[in-house]
Structure 1
Amino acid sequence: MKDIGILGLGVMGRNLALNIAHRGFGVSVYNYTPNETEEFVAKHMQGEDISAFYDVESFVRSLKSPRKIFLMIMAGKPVDNMIEVLIPLLDRGDLIIDGGNTYYFDTDRRMRYLEDKGLLYLGVGVSGGESGALNGPSLMPGGSREAYALVEDILTAMSARTEAGPCCTYVGNGSAGHFVKMLHNGIEYGMMQSMSEVYDIMRNVLKLSADEIGDVFEKWNEGDLNSYLMEISYRIMRKKDDETGKPLVDLILDKAGQKGTGKWTAEASLDLGVPAPSLYVAVYGRVMSFFKDERQRLSELVKKEPSDSVISRDALISDLENSLLFSNFVMYSQGIWLMNEASRVYGFEIDTAEVLKIWKGGCIIRARMLDLLIDIVREDRDNFNLLGSEKALSFLRDRLPSMRRVTMAARDHYVPTLVHNTALDYIFSMIEADLPANLTQAQRDFFGAHTYSRIDKEGIFHTKWE
């Protein structure tokens, strides 16, 4: 009898199965299409404590009680369909784990549905891609503590490890795990967009080659900008196309895809009333990239007249380093605010410092900056968006001049910087005591009698403006 079953043998599923087996646990595997199972058996199962099955009934019977089944299948309707297949085969107290990028409201719905049938359910965020799945991902499990206790030893054993411990922790109640994974991906969208903006400035303003940009990225990765995304980016810059010998990045069509988690993050920020503009526009950056033909047509109709002012290469690169640190901090800050508000509204009971700790290894947004963020969070657990910390404000103040120069240089040269501009405007808004929303509210009262408050006396007021 095996300790756990992996249902779904795509890239992530088969690598998680191997990872768990390497940690000393017995694994059963099953895939809806037999050819995937056959390929896995032929290529990967030699010498592993893994048993493969070609029918779901035998797969379920092979598991120790209470059974633990890890679904690694496409999110959405396929998960609902597979749950219906499994229900008649399971006993009370058995556990289904969803490791996909699932919409957190779907996770809540499934938990309630299965609870009525005496079954346990965990929504587990899994980050790290193919390599992380095999060698140790960052895992974000959410649900009941009873459900987590059944697989805590397996999840912590298979996760990545840093000096702070395993990159797995009980995230919180209900759909907390999938919410936090969604938020992780929203921050990931923002970090990737901000890096692409810096890359764009270096190639179009400083006219640097891909190799030269790779050198800059590698140097930055040795300092405060150290991160997984920076590491892979300098390697990307140096990769040459086998056919042409040109930098491969220069040959890739500028249309970025997306799977939906960034959009869900933006929607959650609006639903919860938490400002996260940098995460929001990162999604729109990908959306606009998809309109290649329209952009190409308009680029030929509008004459660009970039500034002819002399720009110091070294000075701008230094400013870009600071602006990227500024932007990344702001995106983490917006994400943390959103996570804290979701925890309050939905009763997740998330420990923010613990989440940041498990993001230090295995996941896509792991970065040296997380140490600073953890320190700020631990100083004041009620600092909901980090900006109440003098340490945070000092970090941003020191880099604000660079941020302003970078955004101005980008505008002077017609380079779009969606994330950088919104990060700067976000901070400008958050440090402004008097925003022009008084005019907005007066307009609302004028056309819709929506009323307003006053700064000089208590009460709710409405004016007949004409």
Structure 2
Amino acid sequence: MAELADIGVLGLAVMGANLARNAARKGFGVAVFNRHGARTDELISQYGSEGRFHPAKEIADFVAAIARPRPIIIMVKAGKPVDEVIEELIPHLDEGDIIIDGGNSLFTDTNRRFHYLTEKKLRFIGMGVSGGEEGALEGPSMMPGGTLEAYSRIEPIVTKMAAQVDGEPCCTYIGTEGSGHFVKMVHNGIEYADMQLITEAYDLFKTVYGLDAKTISDIFAEWNKGELNSYLIEITAAVLAKVDSTGKPLVDSIVDEAEQKGTGRWTAQSALDLGIPLTSITEAVFARALSARRAGRAEAEKLLPHAPVAARKPSPADIEAIRQALFASKIIAYAQGFEQLSVASAQFGWKLKLDELATIWRGGCIIRARFLNRIREAYKAGGGASNLVLEDYFRDAVLKAEPAWREVVGLAVASGIPVPAFSSSLAYYDGLRRARGPANLLQGLRDYFGAHTYARLDKPGKFHTRWAQDGEEVQVSS
């Protein structure tokens, strides 16, 4: 009798195929199935020698080829296709089998599927997978959420498939229900902010200082040697250095219209629901939306003329100022993202371990960066301040960067260069460190038109002023 597969992968587009190859390369038997059988044939033809594959053309044969309790990773487009695949699988599964959604599903959908399959005595894991197609093959960061019992079944497999940093796998049990996909969603939101900050620095170098792509590439390459060291800074240097078939920088020929798949928008929407001031990530989402209005921007440029920026050669101090502004803004974006994770953990009862999230994001994923080690230390053993900006390392970094940060934002505003992520990060920082802000007036206005009441500094309780009547202040029972 043929040996059964250790795991199954359903959906063999690039990510699914690479995850299957990854598992096979690590010594696991992998059953593979795709609705269009040609893809299964192609995978086996090209990569069948990489390990022990069990190709199947029928879904019943695919399921039967996997050792029980069967773990099956489905890699299909988020939304309705996931539900359709689940319904196709259910008749062929046995009690205790595990369906693992490795796509970018909305965490509320994962919550629903988790409870739906629990009622059918099946187990469901929503597993965020970060690292793109290269990470899927070589070792991604993996964020599985579901029952601990279900995770224990796949732990020996996924921890070996994941990227490894300092001997630790970039994979850990996240929590129950849709927590794995929630964590991946926030990861992607931070990624949006990170990328927006990088493009704003690039825009300043290009538009204010007139630097060409190769020169800017060299600056980012140098930055990658220091505290900004990260995957995104590394590939920014590579993209800017790329020359196309015409001999010119490729980046100069790419249409300035950013696309998005929804995870950044979901992160911002979730932050609104949770009451988290997620300004950096949300501005990054808005910036992509504005970039998509390319025709409108072209028309507006004609109708809203502005004086061209007179390019000037940057001094080493100018370059360093942008670096510091980028680093400080990056800290703010991560601080906001981790606050969102903390609040969601408490509200949904997930008990997220923030130090472990920083640990598994150190390798394999898109936002991997040197300073994740600092975040890990801040949250180690359940410690950590209420906001990362208040931790010694990050507090000292933003205080040091503050003068340059203000200078860069001021330069951008004076030059007519939009820097929504830089400026909103600075505004958040300024708002965070004010013990008393202007919301007292806001609350007074709310009380005037809507009788929403207010609290006082000098005595307890809630109060309302009868603005349109006799102007008297009255205490309101809670």
What TM-score, normalized to structure 1?
Answer: 0.98
Deviation readout 1:90-136 (Å, 9 max, x if unpaired) = 00011000000010011110010000111011111000001100000
2:100 — aligned with what? 97
2:189 — aligned with what? 186
The Cα of 1:308 is off from its aligned counterpart by: 6.2
Establish whether residue 425 from structure 1 lines up as the match of residue 437 from structure 2. Answer: no
Cα separation, 2, equivalents of 1:109 and 1:456: 47
Cα separation, 1, equivalents of 2:218 and 2:22: 34
Contact 2:384/2:391 (<8 A) preserved: no
SS of residue matched to 2:180: helix
SS of residue matched to 1:45: helix
Q: Are the structure 2 counterparts of residues 198 and 76 from structure 1 closer, same or farther at C-alpha, using a change threshold of 3 Å?
A: same
2:242 — aligned with what? 239
The Cα of 1:171 is off from its aligned counterpart by: 1.1
Contact 1:164/1:357 (<8 A) preserved: no
Cα separation, 2, equivalents of 1:464 and 1:138: 57
Q: Are the structure 2 counterparts of residues 156 and 35 from structure 1 closer, same or farther at C-alpha, using a change threshold of 3 Å?
A: same
1:213 to 216, 235, 244: 216
1:199 to 199, 202, 211: 202
Q: How does 1:62-211 map to 2 (within 5 A)?
A: 62-163=65-166, 165-211=168-214
AA matched with 1:434: R
Contact 1:306/1:412 (<8 A) preserved: no
1:274 to 254, 273, 276: 276
Cα separation, 1, equivalents of 2:384 and 2:450: 37
1:404 — aligned with what? 406
Cα separation, 2, equivalents of 1:161 and 1:185: 20
Tell which has more relative contact order, 1 or 2 (C-alpha 8 A, sep 6+): 1
Contact 2:332/2:389 (<8 A) preserved: no
State which drifts further: 378-387 or 204-213.
378-387
Number of paired residues?
465
SS of residue matched to 2:144: strand
State which drifts further: 320-329 or 389-398.
389-398
Contact 1:376/1:389 (<8 A) preserved: yes
State which drifts further: 293-302 or 186-195.
293-302
Cα separation, 2, equivalents of 1:253 and 1:153: 44
SS of residue matched to 2:454: coil
1:19 to 17, 22, 33: 22
The Cα of 1:395 is off from its aligned counterpart by: 1.5
Deviation readout 1:246-303 (Å, 9 max, x if unpaired) = 1000000000000000011001111111111111110001000000011111112223
Q: Are the structure 2 counterparts of residues 438 and 247 from structure 1 closer, same or farther at C-alpha, using a change threshold of 3 Å?
A: same
AA matched with 1:286: R
SS of residue matched to 1:300: helix
2:49 to 46, 49, 69: 46
Establish whether residue 375 from structure 1 lines up as the match of residue 357 from structure 2. Answer: no
The Cα of 1:47 is off from its aligned counterpart by: 4.8
The Cα of 1:43 is off from its aligned counterpart by: 1.6
Identity, in percent, stands at: 45
What TM-score, normalized to structure 2?
Answer: 0.95
Deviation readout 1:322-379 (Å, 9 max, x if unpaired) = 1111011111000000000000000111100000000000000000111122222228
The Cα of 1:384 is off from its aligned counterpart by: 2.9
Contact 2:210/2:313 (<8 A) preserved: no
The Cα of 1:172 is off from its aligned counterpart by: 1.3
Q: Are the structure 2 counterparts of residues 269 and 129 from structure 1 closer, same or farther at C-alpha, using a change threshold of 3 Å?
A: same
Contact 2:164/2:363 (<8 A) preserved: yes
Contact 2:329/2:425 (<8 A) preserved: yes
The Cα of 1:164 is off from its aligned counterpart by: 5.3
SS of residue matched to 2:8: strand
1:302 — aligned with what? 304
The Cα of 1:221 is off from its aligned counterpart by: 0.6
Contact 1:306/1:414 (<8 A) preserved: no
AA matched with 2:391: S
State which drifts further: 47-56 or 309-318.
309-318
2:472 — aligned with what? none
AA matched with 1:268: S
Cα separation, 2, equivalents of 1:93 and 1:62: 16
Q: Which ranges in structure 1 are unaligned for 5 or more consecutive residues?
A: none
1:36 — aligned with what? 39
